[in-house]
């Protein structure tokens, strides 16, 4: 019997405002299915804080606080400090932010919190743009990706920021990448992170049919393709030192991943090659780090 299925029903109710096929909601469900009831969620402005429901109703049945955009890690740290001073060491404080609230406006507070090794689990559900406000670019948007602020006339030049490397530089006890396309891997990592004290960070790939212009039924498949093409490889870093690859299917080219998404439609064939080269180079760099 799949316990996950039963639990998921209890902590997450239908009726929310997420787009059909939303990857971020899958991410939350999979995460909560492992973390369970003894969890407090701190979420900033972003897709989740809007889709969660309209006041005074909510689609989550764990305590949630909807916070200002750049403050997630600080508030999460404060919640944890408030809990521990009252003698509660067991409740997981889950900071749940999108790429905007992690990579950009939330980066300072995040850096501060993990530098202090605040005992929080920070999960970034990454849909690679400021989706909630209408698909504007973030530093998590890949190079060549269309967004409203990197339109066809001015596609994004900068590469995606590597947030896990930044976390690793802080030498936190546990950092990892995960994907909604690899749920068992994700759940294993959430479970592992739950058992670690100190700052834990998971960079979680969450497809977005609305922003990436792909068919909603492909949300999970595209997340798989991202892993397969090594555009979003799965790995873990402990204390910034020990880099370990997670099991992944054999590597394939990026073509399938790119062709499923309208946001890459205007990428020229020559740019595809550059794109592939970047993915390959980054993959080799990662392999190098993972070498024992």
- Residue 219 near residue 30 (C-beta atoms within 8 A): no
To the nearest whole angstrom, how small is the minimum distance from the Cβ of residue 268 to another protein? 30
To the nearest whole angstrom, how small is the minimum distance from the Cβ of residue 258 to another protein? 19
Nearest CB to another protein, comparing residues 81 and 287: 81
To the nearest whole angstrom, how small is the minimum distance from the Cβ of residue 210 to another protein? 11
Nearest CB to another protein, comparing residues 59 and 286: 59
CA-based torsion, 255, 259, 263, 269: positive or negative:
positive
Tokens of 105: 């406006």
To the nearest whole angstrom, how small is the minimum distance from the Cβ of residue 143 to another protein? 28
Tokens of 271: 């740019």
CA-based torsion, 9, 191, 180, 130: positive or negative:
positive
Place of tokens 């749940």: 96
Nearest CB to another protein, comparing residues 40 and 155: 40
Give the alpha-carbon dihedral of 127, 25, 166, 191, to 10 degrees.
-150
Measured CA to CA in angstroms, residue 182 lies from 57, 77, 198 at distances of 31, 29, 25
To the nearest whole angstrom, how small is the minimum distance from the Cβ of residue 117 to another protein? 11
Nearest CB to another protein, comparing residues 26 and 231: 26
Nearest CB to another protein, comparing residues 123 and 155: 123
State how far the Cα of 98 lies from the Cα of 119, in Å rounded to an integer. 20
State how far the Cα of 12 lies from the Cα of 135, in Å rounded to an integer. 26
């Amino acid at each position: 019997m799949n316990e996950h299925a039963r639990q998921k029903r209890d902590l997450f109710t239908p009726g929310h405002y997420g787009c059909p096929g939303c990857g971020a909601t899958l991410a939350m469900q999979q995460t909560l299915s492992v973390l369970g009831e003894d969890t407090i969620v701190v979420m900033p402005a972003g897709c989740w804080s809007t889709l969660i429901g309209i006041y005074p109703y909510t689609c989550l049945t764990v305590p949630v606080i909807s916070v200002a955009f750049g403050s997630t890690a600080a508030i999460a740290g404060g919640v944890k400090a408030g809990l521990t001073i009252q003698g509660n060491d067991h409740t997981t404080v889950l900071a749940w932010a999108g790429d905007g609230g992690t990579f950009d406006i939330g980066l300072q507070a995040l850096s501060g919190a993990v530098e202090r090794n605040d005992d929080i689990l920070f999960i970034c559900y990454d849909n690679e743009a400021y989706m909630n406000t209408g698909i504007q670019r973030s530093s998590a948007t890949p190079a060549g990706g269309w967004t409203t602020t990197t339109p066809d006339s001015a596609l994004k030049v900068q590469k995606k920021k590597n947030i896990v490397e930044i976390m690793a530089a802080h030498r936190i006890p546990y950092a990892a990448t995960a994907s909604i396309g690899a749920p068992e891997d994700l759940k294993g990592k959430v479970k592992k992170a739950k058992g670690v004290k100190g700052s834990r960070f998971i960079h979680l790939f969450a497809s977005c049919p609305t922003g990436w212009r792909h068919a909603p039924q492909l949300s999970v498949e595209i997340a798989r393709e991202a892993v397969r093409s090594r555009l979003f490889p799965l790995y873990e870093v402990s204390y910034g030192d020990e880099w370990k690859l997670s099991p992944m299917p054999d590597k394939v080219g990026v073509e399938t991943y790119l062709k499923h998404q309208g946001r890459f439609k205007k990428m020229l064939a020559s740019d595809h090659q550059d794109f592939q080269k970047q993915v390959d180079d980054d993959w080799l760099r990662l392999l190098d780090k993972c070498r024992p």
